[in-house]
Amino acid sequence: MRKGIGQQENNPNSEYKIIAVDDESGIIDSLSVFLKRSGYNLTGITDPVEAIELIKKEHFDLMILDFIMTPFHGDQVVEEIRKFNKELYILLLTGHKDLAPPLETIRRLDIQGYCEKGDKFDQLLLLIESGIKSIAQMKEIRKINSELSDTYEKLEKAYLESIQTLRYTVEAKDSYTRGHSDRVSAYSVLIGQKLGLPESELRNLEIGGLFHDIGKIGVPDNILQKTEKLTNDEYSEIKNHPSIGAHILSSATIFQDIIPIVKHHHERYDGHGYPGQLKGEEIPYLARIASIADTFDAMTSKRSYRDSLPMDVVISEFEKCRGTQFDPKLTDTFLDILNNEYEKIQEIQDRY
């Protein structure tokens, strides 16, 4: 059976919805009268099964729950509710303190408090007031977090747009880079998906791939656009772009997780790469993935001094460089994609 009382205007307590569950209708009636005086918005129910279903459908801030009921005791009701609602503030009523559930059960079910039934509800009212204060604080914290999250998202969007502008500037300087970063990003995500990486790391691979060559903004145009073989000095200039890129991104905390990709995508598994000459497991994991994606796109892209390499040559090169230039396990994963899921590679190439 469900009973309800209306809100009292201009009373802050009426903002909070309370549900009381007790199989004794007299207790529900007494609670309704008592709490109405304090302006609370109360729904009273005598059937615990009905209460569980109602809480699934409607929002309540606080629940007052009798412990000894039929067909379920209060702890069993809470057990069911906690399967789908972790936030409901719960106060347990007991006929006698000796009948209360063990403390470990109260903690496990996250029951915020309990008190004995009596002729007066003064202790219960104090617990309700304390609970409402806690609920109000949590609402305020969620509101602040939401506002901070919104501000952070706007800041992140502004930073991303700024770096995108730099990326487009690089692409204007170096025609090869146009489409290259998009494909490296997509290939990296494809490898990450094959490895079963979580969404957060796939996101880092996506953004890291897009901006991995951002440091080329600091490389002279005549070197980027040169069609002949580079001199040693010119090649040294090119080799500075990972460090330049990492420096560009270092001023924004939102890019901290992708800086390792940008800085170390030219490291080699044997330690002969740059800029850090890192070796094996020293190389950040996502950078090792991006390195494979970057090299694959370089081999399969048409350049001014050569055509794209045939796929059998590409596969042969990856097999040959397994364990020297590339992480052997990641190489095996990528070779599996090339040999058995090549249509996914073609989809990326068609897209960009």
For 328, the token pair is 């052997």
Find the catalytic residue in 216, 226, 263, 329: 216
Rg (CA), the chain: 32
In this structure, the strands spanning 41-45 and 2-4 are antiparallel
Direct distance between the N- and C-terminal alpha carbons of the chain, in angstroms, rounded to an integer: 63
| DSSP string over 181-222 | HHHHHHHHHHHHHHHT--HHHHHHHHHHHHHTTGGGGGS-HH
Active site residue 216: yes
Phi, psi values for residue 42, rounded to 5°: -115, 140
The amino acid present at 216, given as its one-letter code, is K
Q: What is the DSSP letter of 20?
A: E
Q: Which residues contact 169 (CB under 8 A, 6 or more apart)?
A: 217
Percent of the chain that is helix, strand, coil (3-state, to 5): 60, 10, 30
Could you list the active site residues? 216
